[in-house]
Amino acid sequence: MRYLFTFLNAFSILWDTDDIDAGRDLLIKGLCLYLNEDPGDLVQEFIDVDETIVEGAIEKTTMGIFTLKNTASEDDVRIVLEGVTVIQDLETVAFASAMFLGLIYSLNLSYPKKLSCTFEVLQKIIMELDGGVLSYKAQSLKTKLHQCE
């Protein structure tokens, strides 16, 4: 429930800006929430934190996206697989999510269990790859999206 309040707060702030990248990042996190998954399992954010703390968290992570925000330097978005940073210096969470999905798909990896519905929707509905059989949650969302057209 706390993630919903965080999302709604971020959405209210975003409503007054024209930053399309922030909107895309928020949309991905909102998709996780809609599918009853924790966006913190996809994106871990570190603000003004020592690099050793970040490296420790990376080593403990099987799959995920890390955002490092520092007041002294530019933001850094990284993709982590099996405790190793495989891609870094990405611009946005949305771009990192697309790259992350591409890595999972091309390397034939299993989705993280805690984010299986989110990745299923991104792959089968948004990217239209292997869209045959959908889970109930994904089919329900697809039906609702088609009703909005």
Q: Please report the pLDDT score of residue 16 as a whole number.
A: 58
Other Cβ atoms less than 10 A from the Cβ of 104: the count is 19
Contact at 8 Å (CB) between 122 and 115?
Answer: no
| Cα 117 from Cα 41, distance rounded (Å) | 12
Residue closest to 32 by CA, chosen among 133, 119, 125, 111: 119
Q: Is the pTM of this model over 0.95?
A: no
How many CB atoms sit inside 10 A of residue 113's CB?
8
CA separation for the pair 115, 62 (Å, rounded): 12
User: What band does 6 get if pLDDT is binned at 50, 70 and 90?
Assistant: low
Ranges of each domain in the chain:
40-148
pLDDT of residue 1: 44
Closest residue by Cα to residue 90 from 43, 51, 124 = 43
